[in-house]
Amino acid sequence: MGNTVQVKEPSAASIAKLAVTNAITRQAKGDTAQLSFAQQQIWLHTQMVPGIPVYNVANACATGATAVRTVYMAIKAGEATHSGQVRFVVEGALDGKPLFRNQPERERALDIFSHLRIWDTAHNNGVLIYLLLADRQVEIVADRGIDAKVGREGWKKICAEMETEFRSGNFEAGVIKGIEAVSRQLAAHFPPHRGDRNELPDAPVVM
């Protein structure tokens, strides 16, 4: 009869053993349940577009893509007014290696600034806007050329304005406000010049 495989009917004992081996343990009261990767993606994108009814990853990615494009266009429009470079990175939560190292948000932002080579620009005027979405925490890391002009207090003010919008549930508006504020600082100190080139990608990074 060709290549056939006979499958034995499972015994009650084998089913019981499987059930015990793969039993779902009850979550202790007050414990935080771990989300699956799919659930994390849904959560991340619903945070990017508050109030949307999202029930699957495909929906989440579609609606999240709209927000990502809005951020991309804001960065692109801003860079038309200055010769600096702006990058926006959003991370759902600190997990894996950063979490195990107890790495604070500022150090994580510095790592990303280095990894994305935002320091590697002709005029030392690259700026990273880093958002840790789970905590609504914003960090701005700027290269020395623009940082010397704006200073820590200037960046902190922009971060605070963004976080105020986030607390009101205005995620997208807060991000755009931050990008526009950074762009104004860059335009004031590093106006555009003929022959300027886009040294870094404008697309936001979702981690």
- pLDDT, tens digit, for every residue of 99-121? 445 567 888 899 999 999 999 99
pLDDT beyond 90 at 142: yes
Q: Coil, strand or helix: which one is 19?
A: helix
Give how many domains the chain has, as a whole number.
1
More confident residue, 22 or 121: 121
pLDDT beyond 90 at 38: no
Integer angstrom CA distances of residue 148 from 41, 120, 155: 38, 16, 11
Q: Is 120 domain-assigned? A: yes
- Which pLDDT score is estimated for 74? 95
- Residues 186/78, Cβ–Cβ less than 8 Å: yes
Mean pLDDT of the chain: 77
Integer angstrom CA distances of residue 5 from 2, 10, 127: 10, 15, 62
Q: What is the CATH number of the domain that holds 98?
A: 3.10.310.50
Q: Is 8 domain-assigned? A: no
CA–CA gap between residue 71 and residue 81 (Å, rounded): 16
User: What is the residue range of 120's domain?
Assistant: 68-206
Q: Is 198 domain-assigned? A: yes
Average pLDDT estimate for 12-24: 50
Q: Which two tokens stand for residue 57?
A: 């990853």
- Which pLDDT score is estimated for 198? 92
Q: Is 128 domain-assigned? A: yes
Q: How far is CA 124 from the centre of its chain?
A: 24
Average pLDDT estimate for 148-153: 96
More confident residue, 16 or 167: 167
- Which pLDDT score is estimated for 34? 53
- Which pLDDT score is estimated for 186? 97
Q: Is 5 domain-assigned? A: no
- Which pLDDT score is estimated for 103? 63
Query: Which of 31-35, 99-103, 143-147 reaches the highest mean pLDDT?
Result: 143-147
pLDDT beyond 60 at 180: yes
- Which pLDDT score is estimated for 12? 55
Q: Is 1 domain-assigned? A: no
